[in-house]
Structure 1
C-alpha cells in the first residue's frame, strides 16, 4: 500500500489571492468581468472560460492616480482594470518593475553602468563646479570665524614665536612687504614650527603663515616671494573653502544657524588638501605675479622641489605634513620652468 503524500494535497488546495475587475481582450471594445492573480513571474487573467497568462516583465502597470481604477496593459494589447485599489496594490505592488529588472540582466547591467557614470561625473565634474561656485559666496564673516579658530589651534598645538634674529627678521619683512604690495588684503605672520617643518599655509580670511624652517630652507628672497604668492593665490581663489565644501565639512558651517558646532572645522581645514587643479591654478597665478615683478617662476619650482625632498626624508612625516598632499611636485616644477622658458622665447 502506497503512503499518501498529504502535504502536496494541502499545498494544491491553498487559495491564490485574486482581484476582481474588468478585462478587454484587445480585439473588442466590450469589457468582460474578470479576476487577476499572480502566479510565479506571471499574471493570470480569468474571464469566464477564457484564461490567459502574461509575463510580469512584459506587462505595464499604470501608476496609482487618486481614486482612478488601477490597470495593467499586456503585450497583446489587452487590458485589465480594477476598482479594488487596495487589493490590486497588494497583488501587484512593485513586482512588475522588479520582475522586469530580474528578467533583464542587460537592463540591470546598463542601470549599474549609468549609476557609476552618474556618480563619477558628479564627483569629478559636478562637485568641483558646485564647491568652487559656493565657495565664492561664503560670507566673509564665516571665513573670519573659521580662520580665527584655526589660528588658535595652530598657535596652541603647532606654532611658537619666531626665532629669527634681527637681520633675518628685516629680510623677512622686506619679502613680506613686496608680496603684500602685489596682493593687497593679505596678512603674513612668521612662526616657528618643529611639527610642521618648512611650510607656508593660507587661511580663508587672507592670513598666511610662514615658518622659520621654510625661511631657512629658501636660498633666495625670490623663492620666498614665490611661495607666498602661491599661498596668496589660494586665498584669492577661495581654494580652502572649496576643498572644505568638497569634503562636506563645510556643511557644518552652512547649518550653523541651526546650532551646528564649529569646533571641528579648524581640524577639517588643516586636514584638507588642495586638488591638482587648485595647485596648478595657484602656481600659474604665482608665476604671472613673479613675471610682473620681473622675477623668475623657476625660483618657485626650485623651492617646491626642496620642500618635497625634505618632507620625503621623513623629518616631519609623523606630524601634520601639509605638503604631503600636494600633487606631482616634479610635474608642477616642470610647468613653472616651461612658463619661464616661454617668456624668454617671446622676447
Structure 2
C-alpha cells in the first residue's frame, strides 16, 4: 500500500488511487492515512483517529459539511473506512476512523485487472485489423469496413458504463442531504427562537449525533416537551432523548403512545385509591411503571428567602469565640 498512499504532503494523491475509488474519496483517504501514520491511539490492534465533521471541514475548506459527510458515508459503505466509538462517555458521539487497507487493496487491484483486460482487448482487435488489411485484396474499402468493425468490437468488449446509476445515486444522496440540512436548520431555528440560547459548535454537533441515532422528528419532539415543561436546557433535552433511545422509541408515534399509556396508568392509580361504597378509602394493587428521569428533574429557580450572609458570618464568629473561651462547655 506504500506505493498508493503518501506519508507526507497531505492532499497530494496518486492518479491510480483516484481512478480506483474516485477523486474526492481518494483525497479523504489520503488525508486519513496521513494522520493515522502520526496517531498514537491504538484499539483492537489498529491505529485510529477521531474527528467531528467540523474538524474535517477545517481540513477540507473547499467542501461543505454535507459533501464531506456524503464522501465519508460512501467510503464506510464500501468498507474502505471503518468507524467506531471509543469515547469514555456514552454521551460523546465523536466518531473514530481507520482505513481497512485490505479492502483498499481489493479495489485498487480489481481496477488494475480491468485496465489490463481493456488493453488486451484493444491489442487483439488491432492485430486482427492489421491481418485483414494484409490479406484483403480490396484494400481501402475493406480497411474502412474493418475500422468500423473495430469500433463496434471495442464497444462490445468494454463494460457498460455505470455513469447513469452513479449520477442517479449521487442525485438521490444530494436530495437526502438537502432535506437533512433543511431539517437541521429547522431544529436550530426552533432552539434559538424558544429561549434555549444560541447554538454553538459543541451543541450543534450533539444535535447532529442525536439526529443520526434517532431522527429529526424525535429531536424536535424532545425540544417541544422541554419548552412545555419550562426546562429550556440542552441537558434536559438530552435526558429525554437518552430515555427514549434506551427504551427503543424510534418514532414520534411510539413516544406519544408511551405517554398516553403513562397518563392512563396515572388515572387508574387515582381511581384505585378513591373511596369505596361504605365511605372508607380502599387501595387496590396497581402495576407501577418507572417514571422517566426527565419527568422528575426540577428546573425551577430557588426562591429568594432573604438570607443574610453577614448576619450568619457574625453568628459563626461568636460561636467560635465562645468555644475558644470555654472549650469544655
Q: How does the TM-score come out when normalised to structure 2?
A: 0.22
Q: How does the TM-score come out when normalised to structure 1?
A: 0.21
Structure number with higher helix proportion: 2
Structure number with higher strand proportion: 1
Q: Which has the higher contact order (CA 8 A, sep 6+)?
A: 1
